[in-house]
Structures are given as C-alpha cells and as structure tokens.
Amino acid sequence: MPTPSRTSLDAIVAAGRAVLAREGISGLTMRRVGEAVGVRAPSLYKHVPSRSALIRLVAQDLVADIARQLDDAANAGDPRQALRAVAFTLRAFALSDPHGFDLLFTHLPADAAPDTSTFASAVGPVLRVATDLAGPDHALDAARTLTAWASGFLRMELSGDFQLGGDVPGAFEFGLQTLIAGLECRQT
C-alpha cells in the first residue's frame, strides 16, 4: 500500500549542506545525511541516485547562494568599487562556510561536479565587473584572472598555507589593488 515519503529532496540537500558545513566533505556520508533527516542510508536512494549526485546538488545550492550575493555586490558604485565588493563578498562567504567554499573549488569527479549552467549564474556578475574594468575584448581573460586569484588566495587562507605570518587581510587588499592597477595600466 502507498506510503508518503518520510523525507524530501529539499530536506536531504539542506541536511547535506549542514553536515558538510560541520564535518567537511569526507564527513558528508550517506549514513550521516540519513541520520540527519531521520531515515536509514538506503532510503536516500529513493530521492537521489548516488552520493555523487547528492554532492552535486549541495554544490549547486551553494553556487546559487553565492551567485545571489555576487549579483548584489557587482552593482556597487563605480567599477573599482564593484570589483572590491565582489572580492570581499567572496571572502566573507569563504570565511562563513569554509567547507562549503572548499567543495566548490575542489576538483570533483565528473559525476559530482555542478554542470556548466550552474556556474554561469555565478560567473555573470564577475564577467560584468571585468568588462567594466578591462573592456569587452579582455573581459573573459580578466574575469579568469580575478577568479583565479581570489579562489587561490582564499583556498590558501582556509588551508592555513600562509605560514610566514604577516597581515593576511592586508595581503588580500594588496592583491586586489595590484589586479586593479594591472587591469588599468596594461597597454591594449
């Protein structure tokens, strides 16, 4: 006889995000997520085909959040201000959910990586800022330079790779100014 589901895809993804935030990717197991939604691990397969698919859903949920925040930031004042706002927004997100941020910039197996269209929503705001600063001809190159620097910096910060001391927020500010100056100074 038909029985209503005791959980839902939304609840599973939300629980996945919570478990990820608390325990990191290696702690994001089917048994733990099941526990968080009040069901045994095998039952999760009624809603999700595999752990990889669950990871993808969690990643897409994270990207959607970031995209929303970046979109707001990209509207802040002149191009320089907008770029700064984008960078600080990303850093705030990374510090607020280190494991979540880690997941997005970690090399995931193909069946766990969010698809192209998901990323596009987060790339949009960055591309807009890059166009304003570097011109349409160099927008893509500039966006890649900015994203590479920011993601690299924040990953290193979260991993504790800045072991030589010094002022880490200051280094973030320095990088930001260097990139802005470079985009404005470079000939053609």
Contact residues for a second copy, defined by CB under 8 A: 102, 105-108, 113, 116, 119, 123, 138, 140-142, 144-145, 147-153, 155-156, 158-159, 161-164, 166, 170-171, 174-175, 177-186
Binding of DNA at residue 106 (CB under 7 A)? no
Q: Which is nearer to DNA, 91 or 99 (CB)?
A: 99
C-alpha 14, offset from chain centre: 16
Binding of DNA at residue 22 (CB under 7 A)? no
Q: Which is nearer to a second copy, 82 or 123 (CB)?
A: 123
Q: Which of 31, 84, 85 is nearest to 54 (CA)?
A: 31
Residue 65: Cβ within 10 Å count: 15
Burial class (CB in 10 A: 0-12, 13-18, 19+), 17: buried
Residue length, the chain? 188
Tokens 């404005």 locate to 184
Could you tell me the smallest distance in angstroms from the CB atom of residue 3 to a second copy? 37
Residue ranges in contact with DNA by CB under 7 A: 1-7, 28-32, 39-43, 45-46, 50-52
